[in-house]
Amino acid sequence: MATRSALINVMVRAAEKAARGLVRDFGEVEHLQVSRKGPADFVSAADMKAEKLLREELQKARPDFGFLMEETGASKGSDPTARWIVDPLDGTTNFLHGIPHWAISIAAEKNGEIVAGVVYEPVHDQMFWAEKGQGAFLNHQRLRVSERRNLADAVIATGIPFKGRGDHAGFLVEAEALMKEVAGIRRFGAASLDLAYVAAGRYDGYWERGLAPWDAAAGQLLVTEAGGFVGEIGGGRNPVFGGTILAANAHFHLPIAKILRGAAERKVRSAPAGAAGAADAGQG
């Protein structure tokens, strides 16, 4: 049985405590359409409540740590080398629609490096966790990325730009290029869980653009500790803060990167003058 460190135990306890309130709120989703306040406001309140609880629990256990949180942004602690990176509710749209696929994501950063991560999916009580150099686990079971070697057998996850955000045309070019090569592409709507599923061998790879640090911080450690490879889509090595991510097993990382690069080059060649730069600028 895997032994959790004191740091992981702090993160697990905080996630479990915040999850109790979120699960209760999730149970109310079916009634939200008749709520005077409205479902979006309800979910926003649930999100903020969870973030507040996580901050309190993590600060109590490690008072010197700073924070980088989705809702309330960055704040420094007395130890400038350490902070928590937190998404209190990843998969908000799923939560809002009563789809049981959302998670709490917590990462511990030390000296600019992610050293521990937890992704908790409360509806099915799936606690994914990893610590640098110690492996990745689902509850108490060791995780390994998939061993598939034939890209034609691979299932790849992604995130789709929505509501005017991101480069829609560029995504369609990339998706079309990959669809010709793989068994299937999935879009489940929670980046932290997409990465956890790669670590567990459920997906063979995952790519997405326009991510924030709290989307990827814990999940990318899960993948690397499960024997996978994680980087930026264009080849950079800072997927947490680089805004793009490509995660896969050892056999698929380079082939998928090559396909995505080829798709990007085709898009640039076919775009009107100035369009490519404008699209990139819209990524944030």
280 labelled as ligand-binding? no
- Please determine, for residue 36, whether its predicted confidence score (pLDDT) is greater than 70: no
| Mean pLDDT calculated for residue range 132-159 | 97
Is 87 marked as binding a ligand? yes
- Kindly state the average pLDDT of the residues 94-114: 95
- Name the amino acid, one letter, at 180: K
Per-residue pLDDT, averaged over 26-42, amounts to 64
Residue 178 has pLDDT above 70, yes or no: yes
Mean pLDDT of 54-79: 95
User: Which CATH entry fits the domain spanning 151-270: 3.40.190.80, 3.40.640.10, 3.40.50.10490, 2.40.33.10?
Assistant: 3.40.190.80
pLDDT at 43 (0 to 100) = 76
Higher local confidence (pLDDT), 54 or 38: 54
Q: Select from 4, 46, 239, 270 the least CA-distant residue to 130.
A: 4
| Residue ranges per structural domain of the chain | 6-142, 151-270
Confidence band of 93 (pLDDT split at 50, 70, 90)? confident
- Express each pLDDT in 189-231 by its tens digit: 999 999 999 999 999 999 999 999 999 999 999 999 999 999 9
Q: Is position 204 annotated in a ligand binding site?
A: no
pTM assigned to the model: 0.90
The yes-or-no verdict on residue 6 having pLDDT over 60 is yes
Which CATH number is associated with domain 6-142? 3.30.540.10
Helix, strand, coil shares of the chain, percent, nearest 5, are: 40, 25, 35
- CB under 8 Å to 90, separation ≥6 — which residues? 102, 103, 104, 105, 119, 190, 191, 192, 193, 214, 215
221 appears as a binding residue in the annotation = no
Is 41 annotated to bind ligand? no
Nearest to 242 by CA among 254, 234, 251, 253: 234
Average pLDDT, the chain: 90
* Dihedral, 66, 72, 74, 79 alpha carbons, nearest 10: -10
Is pLDDT at 65 greater than 60 in this prediction? Answer: yes
CB 106 within 8 A of CB 14: yes
| Residue 186: its H or E element | strand 184-186
Q: Strands, E, within 96-138: which ranges?
A: 103-110, 113-121, 126-131, 135-138
Where residue 209 falls (left for φ over 0; alpha for ψ -120 to 50; beta otherwise) is: beta
Residue type (1 letter), 102 = W
